[in-house]
Amino acid sequence: MKDLIKNYGKPALVVAIFIAVIHALWALLVAIGVGETYLNWIFPLHFLNNVYSVSDFNIMTAIILVIIAFVFSYIAALLFAIIWKMVVKKR
């Protein structure tokens, strides 16, 4: 397990930090009151109607969002690296 983290942990950490920062930026947009404006702008660019409304900002929800985004993206990136190595090794 130690070798696993040593070999794949740093790239997974970089991905997890990146995803967590993106989610923190979203929480910041909601906190300053422009989250819904952003959604109203971005959805039509993807040929979608915006059926969502943005809730009131809550600091605890924002913290949980960033932590969960970090943890799950770390796990996903770690699994991706392991699977990638297994596939490349079989060639």
Predicted model pTM? 0.85
Radius of gyration of the chain (CA): 17
Query: With contact defined as beta carbons under 8 Å apart, do 42 and 51 qualify?
Result: no
Read off the pLDDT of residues 48-62 as tens digits, 9 standing for 90 and up: 998 999 999 999 999
Q: In angstroms, rounded to a whole number, what is the distance separating the alpha carbons of residues 89 and 91? A: 6
Report percent pLDDT > 70 for the chain. 92
| Tokens found for residue 74 | 């770390």
Q: What is the pLDDT of residue 4?
A: 66
